[in-house]
Chain A
């Protein structure tokens, strides 16, 4: 299909435009204050802080596009961070094992979510909320703070940069590229849009709808787990609170809708979500530079999210 045909299927271009605009305004405002918004450390900081939410939001995009939802991602982040750090336990030799274990735990939880939604026909909101509580209960019973440790070598993921670009940004870029290809170039991606758009039509077209939802949830679990691994590398160890403290469940959903994806599924673009994640990071950065009150910061986020979605609804109507 041509680029032109893609544009009217729902482009993420407006979201990127707003991001550029926001970035420009941020630059100006900070400059007026005598600061330099585009200083390398600040840009690196924005990139770094986008990675954790970005990874989770990629997975969230997949399930939302498929007409589902995942509220358990925050605790998946925690459980994978803890798993990685406990399994590695400071030993560089155990990095692959730790990674596999952490991502595996994410996949299993995602599989559980998908199985409950597809097999038991539980509403995704309830299914993943329940799963979130189950994981939280187990996690809190076993750990109360940092557990284990990641080896120094592994902290490179969180702190190193190649030619000024943080290593973790490559990780995010790779995951986004993979998810983009999956969504827009494979049958699975086509079926995600179909199932989210009209599940009955998808079934009547011969699509195994249950399988699509299941796989989307497994991928969402893996993405959230990748985010947990990244956080473990940043913090040097995993702790049960890293996920919920980051608010990754609701923030990822917010990023998805801010990026122009319909919460009902079937309509939206992955790159819109990424632009929204960057927007939130830019916003945070500006507030931090001015050392603004954290409550005001949260409030402004809320207003922006509601405003954006209201704008989409308005555009949809006209």
Chain B
């Protein structure tokens, strides 16, 4: 096993030596060293904000390090622009999609290296080579002619990977490639990656999902707070070891303990009768104070649409909604907020936060919109609320875009606490959040429920649904397909979720 001290190993292909990087005075990478050997799958794990993505952007030439250096085959390289990293054989598959929605698949795949003939783009060659590449990577449901905006998330992810392979890279860096994929799509991706590794590709793989790391990787480097904890052989450790290295403490017994409260006895906070619009139909549901109700279902089953209807984004056009016993018309988010509803969207960056604003202003965004007494009370209590969700008060003064994903989620939560919301709609509350922060968010949800809030939690992760919920609703085709009690198993949920 190589030490993480930055000594180039004999088989070392890429060496990161003492790399540091700071943004706006915040250190993100601190003296990071790591060796990637030719032909291996090298996983990089760490909590949110550990610096994994930044490290990979340095490797791919998107960021220039403040200190330290990179070496390829033992020679020091300096990348001023991503094209230099590409020329050196390094390709990055981004966590955030870097595709152009209004261009075709072929145009995206060859972006930046379009084949030309006598100065004109050779579109015929571009399309046929895209088709070949897609076929090579086993993608058979995407046409080179399709507009990217018309593709599903999984298809887009495949296009993104195909795009990275155009350069015939020696090193392929994948940053959370499975975050938006369904299980069978993950399997397909892994099969493809293994085949490519077999043909000599070196892979650097970033993931939150430890099971994937154990399935795929040869070695793993653990980052914590911008520093390397260690690089170890995957065969020499257990998942529990890895978690301990990532968070610096045990988590195993922490996960999903039995609820202490006796759920279902509080007053009904939210009652929907016969609710419906273009996307969801015949919705009947009741959330009680203290309830955590899990909302399961496949992608496209209408889970998010139901949350959006309740929050007035795409309001119900039929049926009635009662909150704390009085009928409310939730025709806009403003009306929903006034009624005491808070929505925590799956996409924090796009819908949850005004990223350039300090966390403090984001926390007060909704309360200030309501104005008057709500706002002044919220200002006074802001620090208290931050502490309650486990956010350091100093973090309130930082720009929201500089916070880690877990902390951004906490800021969104503060936003709704500040409006004194009583009904919380969580859409994928722990998507893209690392394991330590995940447990923290689950604790917070339970705390909220214990304080008398009613919670509707959408999640694609069945263990989360099963572990957290007092009751489980399963959606299918825009309707609630069934109710299950706490303790229901995955087969029962899937039986309701999958169309017959």
Contacts and interface: CB of A to CB of B under 8 A. Distances in A.
Interface stretch (A52-60, A155-163, A200-208, A217-225): A200-208
Contact of B119 (A5, A186, A206, A267): A186
> Chain A, interface size: which category?
20 to 34
A203 B62 contact: yes
B82 A194 contact: no
A206 B119 CA distance: 19
B111 A205 contact: yes
B94 A187 contact: no
A197 B102 contact: yes
B98 A201 contact: yes
A205 B121 contact: no
B102 A9 contact: yes
A190 B99 CA distance: 13
Q: Is the interface of A mostly helix, strand, loop or mixed?
A: helix
A266 interface: yes
A187 B163 CA distance: 17
B114 A190 contact: yes
A9 B150 CA distance: 11
Contacts of B62: 203-204
B66 to A, nearest CB: 20
B442 interface: no
Contacts of A185: 120-121
Contacts of A205: 82, 98, 111-112, 163
Interface string B362-373: 000000000000
A2 B104 CA distance: 12
B101 to A, nearest CB: 8
A191 interface: yes
Task: State the majority secondary structure of interface residues on B.
Answer: loop
A299 interface: no
Interface in B107-147: 107, 111-114, 116, 119-121, 123, 127, 145, 147
B103 A2 contact: no
A267 B94 CA distance: 23
B98 A198 contact: yes
B28 interface: no
B441 interface: no
Nearest to A190: B114
A198 B121 CA distance: 21
Nearest to B60: A204
A186 B121 contact: yes
B378 interface: no
Contacts of B111: 190, 194, 201-202, 205, 207
B83 A208 contact: yes
Contacts of A9: 102-104, 147
A202 B83 CA distance: 11
A8 B127 CA distance: 17
Contacts of B60: 204
18 contacts: A5-B145, A10-B102, A185-B120, A185-B121, A186-B119, A187-B116, A190-B114, A190-B121, A191-B112, A193-B100, A197-B102, A204-B82, A205-B98, A205-B163, A207-B83, A208-B83, A266-B100, A266-B102
Interface of B: 60, 62, 81-83, 86, 92, 94, 97-104, 106-107, 111-114, 116, 119-121, 123, 127, 145, 147, 163
Given A191-B112, A201-B98, A267-B102, 15 more contacts: A5-B145, A9-B102, A9-B103, A9-B104, A10-B102, A197-B103, A198-B98, A201-B97, A201-B99, A204-B62, A204-B92, A205-B82, A205-B98, A205-B111, A206-B82
Interface of A: 1-2, 5, 8-10, 181, 185-187, 189-191, 193-194, 197-198, 200-208, 266-267
